Structure 1
């Protein structure tokens, strides 16, 4: 058996290109390091060596190539040796963001990698999620502004929407991005694509269309699919999901939506902006129940002002269909209501794609909703098998999936890296958009913090005023004594662009004072972040332009 190893990272000054990276990698390999990688952009090298190795040898090897090494940092102790050999070092089941991130990372470490996909390559994001929905959302925004622009003196108009053409162009965009960002990379990186459905037959073997495939380690990255609630009559109705809604060729006159989470709100607003009458229905008393109340109030105001019918506190009794008309029977505040529409969209969450994997044969435990249970290293109950992305029901973002895929690949090949999801930004691409990072006020208090908050209405932000779109809010949650930023929550145009700066503030422990003392470009939405910081002890309505 191979001896145990440690994983090491060394800062390296002087690397300026990929050729420099190659020199550093070769130098470290010459002194016995394995799984070596170097990045000139990050200015560092990482590698594995035997537990008792002299790290000064590694530093000297780097110095001898002409670069300047810093102090070595041990990332993880006792990296365990690999399992017994299989057909592959790593087999990835799935082909979305987590899967490709893992496959690329593993190949770069010299592993032999296989990827199994039962359907279309690329996963949810590029095929039926982020890319198609956001391009259509942009089309809807343009159509909405053409009908209802906020500037007197400009006359705009729009013809009825040709949804079939919009969907055709959307599909062309999806096809191009799938080819460029996924399919082409298979040959570029040199891992093997295996078409078919994977089914575990034991803890280290899967079967795909009759072929048995073994591996030292596996990664489950099969994603999730729309979940359908148990409502009487729903199974007998021709309803839409987030997938099929994006393939409609004719715009319905009326659209009813069961659910009001981010998918329901984005698609509901999309069809509203294209010209449909939209009703959003949900069980809870307010939308965005896990968000700060100021955020929910601002979004509620925006959606209702735009003409979307929003029903909260609804209990769903049954659904029926009469010809092309669907009827949703609900109870609201003890009163019966019937919502009629030509199309019914069900957007009540997502369920993990695990049913066909036969994970019990591999000793992999699942949660109550069918999600793969993982530890902080992304290991399942079978130490040979890892899981990443939506299949674990963690944060449902492609960038989280990609990050987890990379971590899982390192760990599957012998490292012991913990996944860190303490600071994850989230964006809902409505108009205005919703962006959040860190703790809500309630979460901060529950965690034991004494908090101080700042709430800045969007009509105090100059960019919003000149845009004539002032429905929204900035909220900062800070620790009361130190004013360390614990969370930032925004409802505004381009909130998703602003939230990255807030993410850095939360991640690196910046304070409200740090935000105050940083220059913010005037007439940008990002200036709202600084104004919200000033609001802790100033009335920003009394400030001159740019006087923050």
Structure 2
């Protein structure tokens, strides 16, 4: 088939969702025009997952050199933090991944044409691209996919816009460690960066409008709160910033009850979809607070126009974005694929990590389930004991009559590494009895899932270390 006869898919964006859509569409015989107005790769590789996890890992190494559970037998020393060198290492890895996972793939595929510029829809089959190098180009397409992602939101706090505050993007590019850092926000991104900077030497204050991780099981927020306080991070709950000023190189944050001062202010209170330049309203694509509304097939309210990722009303995780992009491409090219989010894992890369999947106890009750729950403290998990790292817990939510697993919430050193086991158990509709009967390798944290499942029918304190 000639290129002109192939289905033509316009892909706007180049992050996880857009790349997945472009590659899957080509795999299924389409030709693709991919439009990117900024840097190839989107949020995750450039200013999100990759650089933040590098910073978090470096901060953990620094912290462990300063203090660890084995300090009685191993000497500890305060590390010297060279943020400039760390930043260079971080950005070198970002550039490497951008090149190998985005630029080379796109340039090496003859079915994909890349345009650098800003796209704007004219109608349901045409858009114009204002090219970064000057001029415009018109694109006629059969299907379109929107994967433009999101950017840090600016909350309506008086005076904030007139100050040089940090976002999650600019904080990752700081070449110094601030002596005093205040973080407004209490979600995943805010808490990850708060702990990382504290471990690298900042005096950190976290301001939460209600409590830490208010959308999660309350026990999770309490566990993270306890860890932060132990590490010297100040947590202000029920603290809403009313006004921010920047005076004499100092941030002054006023609340209802107090005034907080800092050398740097990081605002991490959510993200805003990058959709305002696309002219969506005029062509009938419905949005809610800027987020594109999509159906189970990832199609917008206009036939033939699909979307996935942070620019939509989907959960803001790159693996959700990419899975949605791939399924949207299948649907754009004649298939019928859906995105099932009933067993979607969530991980926060603090230390200990927070990992969850499925329903919390409160969510299960709201959905009408009769539930039974168990909470296993990590002091009952052999791996945690030998690590001398027993802070945290694993909680399981099960349907009372059948024992079917409904959800898992975990706070543990490597919770993100074992939550996928719980995902697979949910997918398989396993009961807690079946999980407890499975073989789990001894002295792994994932064994905690087996032990927690066993607590539904046994007193595990009366079992030997590796009893089945």
Please indicate, yes or no, whether the TM-score normalized by the shorter chain is above 0.5. Answer: yes
Match of 1:339 in 2: 260
Q: Is 1:357 paired with 2:282?
A: no
CA distance in 1, matches of 2:202, 2:29: 53
Deviation at 1:87, TM superposition (A): 9.3
Equivalent residues of 1:301, 1:471 under 8 A apart: no
Runs of 4+ deviating beyond 3 Å: 85-88
State the match for 2:322 in structure 1: 402
Q: Is the 8 A contact 1:86 1:214 kept in 2?
A: no
What is the alpha-carbon distance in structure 1 between the residues aligned to residue 22 and residue 247 of structure 2?
49
Q: Which residue of 2 aligns with 1:330?
A: 255
Separation in 1 of the partners of 2:59 and 2:216?
Answer: 26
Distance 1:180 1:539 in 2: 51
Q: For 1:236 and 1:135, locate their aligned partners in 2 and report how far apart those are by CA, in whole Å.
A: 31
Q: d(CA) in 2 for partners of 1:357 and 1:538?
A: 58
Distance 2:118 2:167 in 1: 23
2:223 maps to: 298
Q: Which residue among 5, 20, 44 is the counterpart of 1:125?
A: 44
TM-score (norm 1): 0.82
Partner of 1:218, secondary structure, is strand
1:387: which partner in 2? 307
Corresponding position of 2:133: none
Q: Which residue of 1 aligns with 2:199?
A: 273
Task: Supply the distance in 1 between the matched residues of 2:452 and 2:96 (Cα, whole angstroms).
Answer: 41
Confirm whether residue 238 of structure 1 aligns to residue 159 of structure 2: no
Aligned pair 1:258/2:178, yes or no?
no
Q: Residue by residue, what CA displacement relative to the aligned partner does 1:467-525 show, whole Å, maximum 9, x if unpaired?
A: 11111010000000111000011000110111000000111100111111111111111
Instruction: Tell me if structure 2 keeps the 8 A contact 1:534–1:540.
Output: yes
Q: Distance in 2 between matches of 1:144 and 1:341?
A: 22
Map of 2:91 onto structure 1: 171
Distance 1:315 1:158 in 2: 35
Q: Is the 2:293–2:313 Cα contact (8 Å) retained in structure 1? A: no
Aligned partners of 1:203 and 1:361 also within 8 Å: no
* Candidates 298, 317, 329, aligned match of 1:378: 298
Aligned counterparts of 1:96 and 1:344: Cα–Cα separation in 2: 28
Q: What residue number does 1:108 align with?
A: 27
- Answer yes or no: is the 8 Å Cα contact 1:86–1:216 preserved in 2: no
Distance 2:5 2:301 in 1: 20
Alignment of 1:8-87 (within 5 A): none
- The aligned residue for residue 147 of structure 2 is 221
SS at match of 2:255: strand
Contact 1:88 1:114 in 2 (8 A): no
- Return 537-546 or 492-501, whichever deviates more: 537-546
Indicate the structure whose relative CO is greater, using CA pairs within 8 Å and at least 6 residues apart.
2
Is 302-311 or 267-276 further displaced after alignment? Answer: 302-311
2:466 alignment partner, SS class: coil
Does structure 2 retain, via aligned residues, the 8 Å contact 1:94–1:116?
Answer: yes
Paired residue secondary structure (1:196): strand
Q: Secondary structure at the match of 1:189?
A: coil
Shift of 1:88: 5.9
What is the distance in 2 between the residues matched to 1:501 and 1:288?
23
| SS of alignment partner, residue 545 of structure 1 | coil
Provide the rounded CA distance (Å) in 2 between the counterparts of 1:88 and 1:481. 51
In the TM superposition, residue 95 of structure 1 has moved relative to its aligned partner by 0.1
Question: CA offsets per residue over residues 133-168 of structure 1, 9 Å max, x none?
Answer: 001100000000111111111002133311111111
CA shift, 1:360, in A, is: 2.1
State whether residues 87 and 213 of structure 1, in contact with CA within 8 Å, keep that contact through their aligned partners in structure 2.
no
How many equivalent residue pairs?
459
Contact kept? 1:89, 1:111, Cα under 8 Å: yes
TM-score by length of 2: 0.96
Equivalent in the alignment of 2:241: 316
- CA offset at residue 86 of structure 1? 9.4
- Correspondence 1:203 to 2:124: yes
Paired residue secondary structure (1:378): coil
- Give the Cα–Cα distance (whole angstroms) in 2 for the partners of residues 301 and 86 of structure 1: 62
> Which residue does the alignment assign to 1:248?
174
Which blocks of at least 5 consecutive residues in structure 1 are unaligned?
1-33, 35-84
Deviates more, 1:289-298 or 1:254-263: 289-298
Q: Alignment partner of 1:316: what SS?
A: coil
Equivalent residues of 2:207, 2:240 under 8 A apart:
no
Larger radius of gyration: 1
1:481 aligned residue = 401
Q: Whole-Å Cα distance in 1 between the matches of residues 286 and 356 of structure 2? A: 32
Which range moved further: 201-210 or 434-443?
A: 201-210
Query: Structure 2 CA distance, aligned partners of 1:136 and 1:393?
Result: 29
Q: Is residue 212 of structure 1 aligned with residue 138 of structure 2?
A: yes
Structure-1 residue corresponding to 2:390 = 470
Residues 1:512 and 2:432 aligned together = yes
Contact 1:433 1:492 in 2 (8 A): yes
Root-mean-square deviation (Å): 1.4
Which secondary structure state, in structure 2, belongs to the residue aligned with residue 443 of structure 1? helix
Q: Is the 8 A contact 2:7 2:29 kept in 1?
A: no
User: Partners in 2 of 1:325 and 1:539 — Cα distance?
Assistant: 55
CA contact (8 A) 2:183 2:206 kept: yes
